[in-house]
Chain A
């Protein structure tokens, strides 16, 4: 069974960089699939951040692209998210997920439990 677990600081100061890692178990990242990040501000809906293939190929949300970097470490079977210059608007629960991407089909079939990141001084 594929399992994903997010980890990282729960509190980040404004203007700093948010950094999260998603550890994957039950499946080897280097075997395939894209791997993605999605966030959900408190009481609001879901927003796609971006995704990465084991080779390093990435897709980013155009509205966040200038501030987002997603990377993969196949040796540790994990992938990471960095979001720079954060503001209070970046406060959200951040989820990592496995992506089934065979356009025109694109969906998240396994999700992590999510981690709340608060941006505050």
Chain B
């Protein structure tokens, strides 16, 4: 059971806009920033969004992040076939002397 809660799956058609939610608590998302990682099949995770809504260099602006209270969302607009991947949210958690907590991951399917 993951500390952060994500839907196990999401889907959309090419060109569509898809959102993935991430729910936490006051000790993690409520007091720290949220990051999103994209994991393409058979590869290592890649940083997609950091500090709630910042994109690393090279990440298309089709990807955006937001946070409100103890929840966060990842939005993908203009969905493309190469976006088919697993997406994980993560944040620092202030409880138990501090630790990093992840969501269980959302498998995005492009129909």
- Measuring CB to CB, which residues of chain A are less than 8 angstroms from any residue of chain B? 36, 38, 45-48, 59-62, 95, 100, 103-109, 111-114
Question: Would you list 16 pairs from A and B whose C-beta atoms are within 8 A, ordered by A residue?
Answer: A36-B100, A45-B102, A46-B88, A48-B100, A61-B100, A100-B50, A104-B31, A105-B33, A105-B51, A105-B92, A106-B35, A106-B100, A109-B50, A111-B45, A111-B47, A113-B43
Using CB atoms, name the residue of chain A closest to B92. Answer: A106
In this complex, the interface size class of chain B, counting residues with CB under 8 Å from chain A, is 20 to 34
Minimum CB–CB distance from A66 to chain B (whole Å) comes to 13
Q: With an 8 A cutoff between CB atoms, is B103 at the interface?
A: yes
| Interface positions of B (Cβ within 8 A of A) | 2, 31-33, 35, 37, 43-47, 50-51, 56, 88, 90-92, 96-105
Apart from A62-B96, A111-B46: 6 A-B pairs, beta carbons within 8 A:
A45-B2, A45-B105, A46-B88, A48-B101, A103-B32, A108-B37
CB of B32 within 8 A of CB of A105, answer yes
The A contact surface, by secondary structure, is strand
- In this complex, the member of B2, B31, B92, B101 whose beta carbon has the largest number of chain A beta carbons within 10 angstroms is B92
Contact A109 B98 (CB under 8 A): no
